[in-house]
Structure 1
Amino acid sequence: MHDNVAQVEQRVGATVRDFVAPALFRRTAPVDITAWEVPDEPVPFADAVRQEFEPFEAGQAWSKPWGTTWFHLTGPVPAGWGRAGTTVQLFVDLGFSSLMPAFQAEGLLYRPDGTIVKGVEPFNHVVDVEGKSVDLYVEAASNPNMLEHFFVSAAPAAPGGMAAALPGTFLPAPPAHTARLGSKATAGSAPIYTLRSVLLVERDLEVDALLADVTVLTGLMRELEPSLPRRAEILRALERMCDAIDPDDVRGSVAAARRELAAVLAAPAHATAHSIVAVGHAHLDSAWLWPTRETVRKCARTFSNVLDLMDADPGFTFACSSAQQFAWVKEFYPQLFDRIRERVAEGRFVPVGGMWVESDTNMPGGEALVRQFLHGQGFFLREFGLLSREAWLPDSFGFTAAFPQIARSAGTDSFLTQKMSWNDTNRMPHHSFLWEGLDGSRIFTHFPPNDTYGSDLGAADLAKAQRQYAEKGASNVSMTLFGWYDGGGGPTREMIAAAHRTRDLEGSPRVTLGSPAEFFAEAKANLARPDVWSGEMYLETHRGTYTSQARTKRGNRRSEHLLREAELWSATAAARGLLDYPYEQLDAVWRTVLLQQFHDILPGSAIAWVHEEAEENYRRAGEELEAVIAVAQRALAGEGETTVVFNAAPVADGDVRPLAAAVGGTKPVVRPKAVPDGHLLENSRISARFDAAGFLVSLVDVASGRDLIPPGEVASLLQVFRDKPNLFEAWDIDRSYANTVTELRAPAEVRIVGDALTVRHTHGKSEIVQRFRLAADAGELQIETAVDWHEQEKLLKLAFPVDVRAEHYASEIQFGHVLRPTYTNTSWDAARFETVAHRWVHVGEPGFGVVIANASTYGHDVTRTTRDDGGTTTLVRQSLLRAPKFPDPDADQGAHVFHTTIGFAATPLEAAAAGYRLNLPQRGVRGDHPVEPIATVSSPSVLVESVKLAEDRSGDLVVRLYEAQGARAEVTVGLGAPFSSAWRTDLLERDLGEPAWSGNEPITLELRPFQITTIRARLTR
């Protein structure tokens, strides 16, 4: 008893390693193995089992990157196996690494009749054997380990799936060949895995239980203060356990060893111990370092593992977000989906989130975020008869201030994420609190205080939750999500065993297996006066995701606006009896767009395969939507040779209702002209002067005579920065990027080409051509920036210094805008050095301002300086392109075209008009009459964002609008089709139970600042 603590710990480790763990499997026996390698893409079970399987042995290599090999495993269970105290299992090691759970080989086991048994994963190797023989097929996926050069680990895999991934060490950058694995075209064809072991095993349940006991107690001991008696008590009990183990008869002495631990395991938790509701979870990325086709298979593996655990443990509950993943399982694995449906009805397999996917929230448009919930909740309601009450985005990269209103109006009343724990500068002050959105809507929000969505329920994670919980004294309950994450298979039997042992254990938080609903009910009841966080939750990392993979972002923006047009004009035509509304076609495109808003696709942080697929999907969606728009507009315009202009320009800059179609031509463009020392583009509203080098040196508002460009500055200046983040290339822009800049101030060519002043630059291996245009009577200068980009680890920005002093700048977000400071008083201000905006940024003084709008750009930075003359220069920069090398080494390479406008806007409302004009260009269609708008509003601050027909196929007209200025508004809504009644709904198009309007009375509303309102009308024909 005189050994010191380190020696005792060392002895416990050696006892487990040398004696206990090897005794886990009493006996082993081989099975017969045959195999068939799939030539290309995966095939269904029915196709695979008809193939010619060849003999195969453990130790053989199998499958190229992204390949699939089917193994057929057969053999008898030896006589006498499976006696009391044991269970017979099949142990499968496809060549797993102990490095990470999600980024390598995985398998799915089938019975000969095609029913799914469960998955086999790096930390979940075994499956229980039914009957007296084995006859199983394994669909083995040879997914390359894309993170092998980001982590190093010395932890070897232990038998029986007992190993846990140890924290690794980040390396700054993987070799290029690793990223090349991210595309089938460059991944190669050599096998990358070796089948290590396939065995029948007889598992000793008492040894298994002892291993779980020791794991929990050793972990707890390490978390306790050295001076605590409890720590010494556990230490001595473990030492007695070692004494009780007889190396010559381990199995015969295991029961005695467990008795030495029984007392310390039975000691109850302190009355003040933190309470943890443990919810099974998998955080299965819908695409990331694998394509979506592999996610479909990951869903089957993970969900079958979950169902297997539920069969064994009636107290286990699993939370699963993303209706898309349920839909995949329903389509490709219908029998598995039927089993899931049964567990959903029991309340154990819990659909959460209410969204189609766990989307990004920074860059999807307002209507797209609504449709995430409309399609997600709609699926849950149709398939399971329920709506999710919990919004669920554990890993998205920051959270828009519009989210609380959208989530609350879509049927949820709680929100969960842990991503804000990734902040690089400031720590969020709460774990359970009310999050207040742009309009004042509030949603109860929880951050798991152990800062993970994939706990192993080990003592370190539990202690961290108790230690960090910010609401101590006001509340004492938090949630922990447990399970291997990012596609690695979800919870395991070892995790559930740990949960049972820590249910009421001295020195540990109390752990209860439960559901999200149970946690949120308890948390709300215990936290009587929660604190409030108001506004956006800006993530102080991953700032590069506003810019990476520009083609994906351009496809998203364009698809959103094409969908807006397709729905608007189709609804208008259908309401007037001119065509049938294309419900199914539009729904299918929406689901594609929503999938690609997943938080590793739209942000640009996935492998090349994912982005190649996204670009192709956007191309097809664009073609399909253009055809839908053309059909509707031709029907509305009628027969004739007059030009009918759809998305007609608003009457005034503040009038943002591009819902009508007028007879007449599109506005002509002013031709640039040469002037002394440069060039001039000028109309009745603005005058843009360029120097001889093609730089914009003056932009004058004709009405006021005020020049927007500060003295001695040039606007629309191209800047190239070194962009080599310390860790996550596609994700991050480090603050140090600004230290090294090259300004392109020596153009290769300046000339007038057609209606544009054209300025050509070269930089490194790249060429950039800017074209400046000005439409007659337009209030904005048009800038087209065509880039043939061949730089790597560089950031391209477009800079606009303006002679405006502003304390804050306005950035468009969903259904409104946020104000952010142009100064850096605090660490919170300093950390916000790269921000997201949708279609426009506005910088203004009272009565005067500038709008810089874009057609596909999201990343911006805005700063200000004081000039020697006492004036203030505010610098607005758009982030156009990056060139990260991981996970896609060719990210952003090649041709791009960006569209920007700069003009005068006294208010953010006028800025909004410029954003609409740029993103909804006019369309000229041959016809014979103007088209009256289907929806009008009387207030210039109320904008119509969406017009469609109802999801339930009733033919009801749905109009979504919002207050855009940030002030109260009274508005009358006019409908351009006869209706019998109209009423307000939530975002799921459900009646709010308020008095309806009849068809002969005006629809009048009073809106609070930034309020979203949906009107539904029963049309008469």
Structure 2
Amino acid sequence: MHDDDQLTIGRATRVLRERILPAVHGPAVPLRVERAELPGEPLPVAEALALDYAPDAPGRPWGPAWGTTWFRLTGEVPAEWAGRRVEVVIDLGFDSSMPGFQAEGLLHRVDGTPLKAIAPRNAWALVAEPAAGGEPVELYLEAASNPVLLDIERAPFLPTEQGDPETASREPLYRTRRFDLAVFEPEVFALGLDVDVLVGLQAELPPGPRRARILQALDDALDRLDLQDVVGTAAAARGALAPVLAAPAEQSAHRVSAVGHAHIDSAWLWPTRETVRKVARTAASMTRLLEEDPAFVYGMSSAQQYAWIRQHRPEVWERVKAAVAAGRFVPLGGMWVESDTVMPTGEAIVRQFAQGQRFFERELGVRCSGVWLPDSFGYSPALPQLMRRAGFSWFFTQKISWNQVNRFPHHTFEWEGIDGSRVLTHFPPMETYNAELSGAELAKASRGFQEARRASGSIAPVGWGDGGGGTTREMAGRAARLADLEGSPRVAWEHPDAFFARAREELPTPPVWVGELYLELHRATLTSQHRTKQGNRRNEQLLIEAEAWATTAAVRAGTPYPRAELDDLWQRLLLLQFHDILPGTAIAWVHREAVAEHARIAAEALGLIDRSLAALVGEGDREIVVNPATSERSGVAALGAAVASPAPEAAVSLEPRDGGWVLDSGALRVVVDARGLVTSAVDVTTGRDAVPAGCAANLLQLHQDLPNLWDAWDVDRHYRNRVTDLVDLERMTAEVGEDGVARVRLVRRFSRSVLEEELSLAPGSRTLELDLATEWHETEQLLKLAFPLDVRAAHSTAETQFGVQQRVTHVNTSWEAARFETSMHRFVLVEEPGFAVALVNDSTYGYDLTREADGDGIVTTVRLSLLRAPRFPDPRTDQGRQTHRAGLVVGTDVRHATDEGVAMNAPLRRVRGARGFAPLVTLTAEALLSAVKLADDGSSDLVVRLYEPVGRRAEAVLRVDAPVTAARTVDLLEGPLPEAEPVDLQDGAVRLRLGPFEVRTLRLHLAGR
């Protein structure tokens, strides 16, 4: 770069920073300040306005962690400001580099009406335009002193106790700087944007005439600007810049579809209590910006966040509703929250869609066309089918750009799921959901767009996010200048639906990506905060069960169907599946509340179950066994039957051997050595031993676990370099219980922790069950449970939503090598022709797999990830008592492993009553039930969801033990499905043809209902 060019850029940058931007607000007068600091949680606005306020002044400290302070601001607009735009300007002690991650406020009028948020880089609010002069001003600011817990500049992050009010300091965190009335100078503001845009643009241009003329225009403008009279000379300076700002963009310029945005995490480094306020602040500001900029379009996801506004801030809600009706405020994504999509069950994902779309339709009269998940940590290959069957036509994310190793090869493409469904998908080449429309961002989008040969543009979500804040007027001003500017992409505010419609026209045959969208980062989110994950798994099952029993009781006993209670429970569970709650990456406060909320959900769901079963069985002392699961097993039909406990088919034997034990169920013979390790697990039918000679399974391994950056999020490959096998045994006992089950109990001590384990084998069973209870008191350690297997597996098969996904076991390429920690639901299976072994679990989501040469053979080792101990953002992650259940299933297949996983997660339920009952719904074994419920629309129609779990074409028969007069296939939202296959209903039985992994939802009308 030429020296003169450097001088021009340096000059423009300094003048912008030190002269132009400070002059945007001209004459100013201080407001009188009073404050009232709340001792605890926030108060309703009406109560806060009536507090006793004490005199205050700028420069004083305020705000302990998580506190709320109300400021009353009073004054008078000077008479000489008549005809000018007057704003209030406030500085609560902001760090301008951290918008969304620190103190924030919401400004109110004297009647309590929200005006606008006050936040870093957006610290103003309109008082009058034009001012009359002399008008009184009285404003109230609700200020939240949220602690700063994240600083990427100083990463890795240090542990902090500020993430929970139970441990946070009560010392003030901030010091106020300014509470002023000020004149807004529009010409200076415009000059600042002109200079900002041109400085950013020239930095990305190659040497040449366009760049040279921009630099010359900047010099000319600065020559015309009197630094002692910026206001008076701003227009002249702008005149010098006008020609280069008027030069139109090239015809082939990249097209940026901008949508205003504030990716607000429903919980992360703040609790949901604070998110309620963040959403209100952001929505208040964005509706004001919509009023000031007629071109601006703002998009917000998450029905839960709209529901919070509706419940807590009705004045803001009315503004949002009006802006939605005008097409300016765009509901995005059609989900209850931006959930994790790897760990929730398929049924939970369906409910994210159903609850989200129902809210948007009921409250706002809109239905979303696409799924918007910019920040979730990887995407299950089951999603394309679920999106399409829920009526969505497009999918948006940007998170895969965070990959550590491999660059994803597309930006606009079709994503194909496990069943063959495809959905049009877009990754913004700008690679951010917090775009500012800077020159660097725009250049990155234009240069990096992979589909540039045929497609014209990309999406840019514009605004401060994570902690909220949204789009600023500066960003809107940049967009206006970049609408048609030589050397830059064209920028236009646009609804994402319009972008995807154009992309579909431009790319009639887009590139295709098949299978999971694996994020090569944040792999430890499958393990961190085990109690949160355990609560999720249990409650997903309980809510499905509660619906099924309530439906059976409604049909059989005429009891009222608790639709409102079930909706409430589902919504609460869906919130806890948000992508920083279920993955275990939020502060201690969030997870403490999540564990407590899971306990409440479980208690309420069990109450509904007990109530329904009581109506079905009546009062009595007969033991009745009911099947809460959605598959058939042990002669107990799906979804409920009154039967006696099945008698064991065989006896189990337990014999001592060499300080250990041999357990034999008749189907599986297991050797446990003197260390409590499994050295043999023989399938009696075939004689195959699942454990290689010389190896030991049920091996606990402890790894040092300090990732390079994101403690709770990441496990980096180097963790494998240091491992301790936990083979020391304090105690081992064994017995055969009265129930005929053989049990071996172990106690191990290691480091500062104690682990108790019970190995059990039931008569006739092929599954060795493991129950672990750990008093976990480690720091920066990862606990794995290893099973070396004598299986030459070409791939692993892991359960995902409504089916399974296969992953190769080799690491031939960097793509496979990067998948060193992967996800499962209830099981993972490895097989070779004729023999397979599975591991099932009740609350584990992460596993790893390695292949090692053993003589002329291959040992495939599968390890379950049990516990971690990261220190950020929760320094006490997973400390205390933790429980896990797992099972080693020998001589199995995908279908049998599925049933074993179901059995572990949905054990038979025993109740006492007067009578039994036949199951309401049964299904042949070719398919599995996912849900049995009454329709969401309030009718008495029966809704049954089922799926093919193995990956093959199947024919299944569904029977309902009630007269069915009509049946039809519907979408996941229980509405009409275009081109649905006709339903074959004969004699009350529905006969179905299912494709591999197909999810089918049936709506059945019952006679007399």
TM-score, length-scaled by structure 1: 0.95
Structure 1 stretch 694-703 or stretch 280-289: which is displaced more? 694-703
Q: 1:206-243 deviations in whole A, cap 9, x for unaligned? A: 11110010000000011111x22111110010001111
| 2:768 counterpart residue number | 781
Q: How does 1:617-656 map to 2 (within 5 A)?
A: 617-647=597-627
The separation in 2 between residues aligned to 1:996 and 1:649, in whole angstroms, is: 25
Aligned with 1:341: secondary structure? helix
The separation in 2 between residues aligned to 1:465 and 1:649, in whole angstroms, is: 49
Which of 890, 902, 906 pairs up with 1:916?
Answer: 902
Which of 874, 877, 892 pairs up with 2:860?
Answer: 874
| 2:740 counterpart residue number | none
Which of 75, 87, 93 pairs up with 1:95?
Answer: 93
Q: How does 1:358-757 map to 2 (within 5 A)?
A: 358-647=338-627, 658-665=638-645, 670=652, 672-752=654-734, 755=737, 756-757=743-744
The separation in 2 between residues aligned to 1:140 and 1:673, in whole angstroms, is: 69
| 1:958 counterpart residue number | 943
| 2:310 counterpart residue number | 330
Deviation at 1:935, TM superposition (A): 1.5
Which of 164, 172, 191 pairs up with 2:156?
Answer: 172
One-letter code aligned to 2:137: V
Which of 793, 817, 820 pairs up with 1:806?
Answer: 793
The separation in 2 between residues aligned to 1:757 and 1:500, in whole angstroms, is: 72
Q: Quick one: structure 1 residues 1000 and 667, their matched pair in 2 at CA, closer, same or farther if it must change by over 3 Å?
A: closer
| 2:108 counterpart residue number | 110
The answer on 1:843 being equivalent to 2:853 is no
Q: How does 1:34-49 map to 2 (within 5 A)?
A: 34-49=34-49
The separation in 2 between residues aligned to 1:203 and 1:618, in whole angstroms, is: 50
The answer on 1:901 being equivalent to 2:887 is yes
Which of 934, 954, 957 pairs up with 1:972?
Answer: 957
Aligned with 1:4: secondary structure? helix
Q: Quick one: structure 1 residues 209 and 832, their matched pair in 2 at CA, closer, same or farther if it must change by over 3 Å?
A: same
Which of 845, 850, 871 pairs up with 1:858?
Answer: 845
| 2:64 counterpart residue number | 64
Q: 1:623-658 deviations in whole A, cap 9, x for unaligned? A: 111111112222223344322111189998799964
Deviation at 1:409, TM superposition (A): 1.1
Aligned with 2:458: secondary structure? strand
Q: Quick one: structure 1 residues 743 and 850, their matched pair in 2 at CA, closer, same or farther if it must change by over 3 Å?
A: same
Aligned with 1:591: secondary structure? helix
CA-atom RMSD in angstroms: 1.8
Deviation at 1:932, TM superposition (A): 1.6
The answer on 1:765 being equivalent to 2:726 is no
Aligned with 1:661: secondary structure? coil
Deviation at 1:376, TM superposition (A): 0.3
Q: How many residues align?
A: 994
Which of 168, 171, 174 pairs up with 1:193?
Answer: 174
Aligned with 1:706: secondary structure? coil
The answer on 1:245 being equivalent to 2:225 is yes
The separation in 2 between residues aligned to 1:265 and 1:992, in whole angstroms, is: 51
Q: 1:327-347 deviations in whole A, cap 9, x for unaligned? A: 000000112111111111111
The separation in 1 between residues aligned to 2:38 and 2:395, in whole angstroms, is: 43
The separation in 1 between residues aligned to 2:632 and 2:177, in whole angstroms, is: 72
| 1:161 counterpart residue number | none
The separation in 2 between residues aligned to 1:988 and 1:766, in whole angstroms, is: 47
Which of 873, 889, 905 pairs up with 2:875?
Answer: 889
| 1:1020 counterpart residue number | 1007
Deviation at 1:1019, TM superposition (A): 1.7
CA contact (8 A) 1:657 1:943 kept: no
Q: 1:875-911 deviations in whole A, cap 9, x for unaligned? A: 1100000000000000000001100011124321111
| 2:164 counterpart residue number | 183
The separation in 2 between residues aligned to 1:640 and 1:666, in whole angstroms, is: 21
Q: 1:815-854 deviations in whole A, cap 9, x for unaligned? A: 0000001111111100000000000001112222111100
Q: Quick one: structure 1 residues 216 and 410, their matched pair in 2 at CA, closer, same or farther if it must change by over 3 Å?
A: same
Q: How does 1:152-231 map to 2 (within 5 A)?
A: 169-174=153-158, 176=159, 179-225=160-206, 227-231=207-211
The answer on 1:133 being equivalent to 2:115 is no
Q: 1:166-223 deviations in whole A, cap 9, x for unaligned? A: xxx352231x3xx210000110211111111110010111111100100000000111
One-letter code aligned to 1:223: E
Aligned with 1:599: secondary structure? coil
Aligned with 2:80: secondary structure? coil
Percent identity over the alignment? 48
CA contact (8 A) 2:697 2:787 kept: yes
Q: Quick one: structure 1 residues 140 and 358, their matched pair in 2 at CA, closer, same or farther if it must change by over 3 Å?
A: same
Q: Quick one: structure 1 residues 658 and 676, their matched pair in 2 at CA, closer, same or farther if it must change by over 3 Å?
A: farther
CA contact (8 A) 1:645 1:666 kept: no
The separation in 2 between residues aligned to 1:991 and 1:436, in whole angstroms, is: 23
One-letter code aligned to 1:188: S
CA contact (8 A) 1:811 1:818 kept: yes
Deviation at 1:402, TM superposition (A): 0.6
CA contact (8 A) 2:638 2:922 kept: no
CA contact (8 A) 1:279 1:514 kept: yes
The separation in 2 between residues aligned to 1:263 and 1:372, in whole angstroms, is: 51
CA contact (8 A) 1:552 1:614 kept: yes
CA contact (8 A) 2:28 2:182 kept: yes
The answer on 1:295 being equivalent to 2:275 is yes
Deviation at 1:18, TM superposition (A): 3.9
The separation in 2 between residues aligned to 1:201 and 1:639, in whole angstroms, is: 75
Deviation at 1:665, TM superposition (A): 2.6
Q: Quick one: structure 1 residues 450 and 872, their matched pair in 2 at CA, closer, same or farther if it must change by over 3 Å?
A: same
The separation in 2 between residues aligned to 1:954 and 1:2, in whole angstroms, is: 75
One-letter code aligned to 1:944: L
CA contact (8 A) 1:656 1:913 kept: no
CA contact (8 A) 2:550 2:608 kept: yes
CA contact (8 A) 2:545 2:628 kept: no
Q: Quick one: structure 1 residues 324 and 601, their matched pair in 2 at CA, closer, same or farther if it must change by over 3 Å?
A: same
Aligned with 1:914: secondary structure? helix
CA contact (8 A) 2:631 2:928 kept: no
The separation in 2 between residues aligned to 1:562 and 1:804, in whole angstroms, is: 35
Q: 1:124-181 deviations in whole A, cap 9, x for unaligned? A: 010010362321110000000001xx33xxxxxxxxxxxxxxxxx352231x3xx210
Deviation at 1:20, TM superposition (A): 2.4
Structure 1 unaligned blocks of 5 or more = 152-168
CA contact (8 A) 2:58 2:176 kept: yes
One-letter code aligned to 2:896: E
The answer on 1:350 being equivalent to 2:330 is yes
Deviation at 1:563, TM superposition (A): 0.8
CA contact (8 A) 1:433 1:533 kept: yes
Q: Quick one: structure 1 residues 923 and 673, their matched pair in 2 at CA, closer, same or farther if it must change by over 3 Å?
A: farther
The separation in 1 between residues aligned to 2:579 and 2:724, in whole angstroms, is: 32
| 1:935 counterpart residue number | 921
CA contact (8 A) 1:804 1:872 kept: yes
One-letter code aligned to 1:723: D
Deviation at 1:683, TM superposition (A): 1.4
The separation in 2 between residues aligned to 1:1001 and 1:120, in whole angstroms, is: 62
The separation in 2 between residues aligned to 1:840 and 1:655, in whole angstroms, is: 23
The separation in 2 between residues aligned to 1:80 and 1:407, in whole angstroms, is: 59
Deviation at 1:1006, TM superposition (A): 1.1
CA contact (8 A) 1:182 1:608 kept: yes
